[in-house]
Amino acid sequence: MKDLVSMEIKPRVYIRNVLPERYILEIKQFCDQVVVDPWFYGKPEPVPSPDLSECNVILTAGFRDTLDILKKAPNIQWVQSTSVGVDKMLRDEIINSDLVITNTRGCTSVPIAEHTFALISALAKRLPSMIRNQVSCRWDEIPVGDLSGAVVGIIGYGDIGYEIAIRCRAFGMRVIGCRKNPDKSPKNDPAEVVGMDQLDSVLAKSDFVVLSLPSTSETFHLFNREKLAMMKPGSFLVNVGRGNTVVENDLIECLGNGQLAGAALDVFEAEPLPQDHPLWTFENVIVSPHRAYYSSSTLQRYMDLFMENLRLFSKGKPLLNVVNKKQGY
């Protein structure tokens, strides 16, 4: 953000998220102009009626916003995404522009880690089958597995993976983190950290494979039939990263033929997951409606980050959580 450094800037914000009034009032107290156009989840993108020509900041969700709105807001300098993923925004013209994009990396690491561990536990103890039996009043003895001693492979080992590893290690699990730059891990990391070049080996030895990958050209449909077949027979897949990492038809095939014992999925290629999608019907699959990131404190964390970035922006200082647009995260 060197082009803004040492310049005093008056924030004029265009808000595309649905926010409680108290946060909008807080933003208005700090900004010269605030335009609010709520974009409700699952609804079409709103067409702005106000003039956006003076706005220089957008608050929106990068996992769905393509930033076509910039045609009507030509003076935007900075976009704050309320999602960690910003892949929808990263068109060539955006990547090659001076536009600064920041995300919410770190704000959701703990909730996602807690949710992930809940999914791992539920799969190990066969809770989906027990709940189905409860609905039909069936008392069946269901074999369950142990957490202690099980191997968890976390693919895409960053802030979220680190928090997942802490929780898994507390239950006696062995954790292997697989990441692009293994040398960046801290000395006392709770996981054994290896490079992505060892992915196949990690898949072969893991009882649980957790995907926490960003959406990039390298990760798109990475987990296809070939990669899924490399997983340890009878293992479980947990995806809390991005839906387009997994080829869903290939996953359905591996679940159907018994290659995998089950899966817990928080993200999907199409969201909301269509009602006629086959994944709804599997007894050994947990469908989580993209809620791993959420807790009662999530929105406050987002707003704390945004307000701090607004202060930095107004002073022309570098922002927090700037996305490397070429890398995609």
Residues tagged active-site: 242, 271, 290
Q: Cβ(57)–Cβ(76) under 8 Å?
A: yes
The helix/strand/coil state of 171 is coil
Give CA–CA dist 214/87, Å, rounded: 8
Alpha carbons 299 and 294: distance in angstroms, whole number: 8
Q: Distance (Å, rounded) from C-alpha 238 to C-alpha 1?
A: 36
Cis peptide before 272 (omega within 30 of 0): yes
- Compute CA distances 144 → 124, 125, 155, 277, whole Å: 6, 5, 25, 27
Rounded to whole angstroms, the Cα distance separating 10 from 231 reads 53
First to last CA, the chain: 16
Residue 242, both tokens: 């991005």
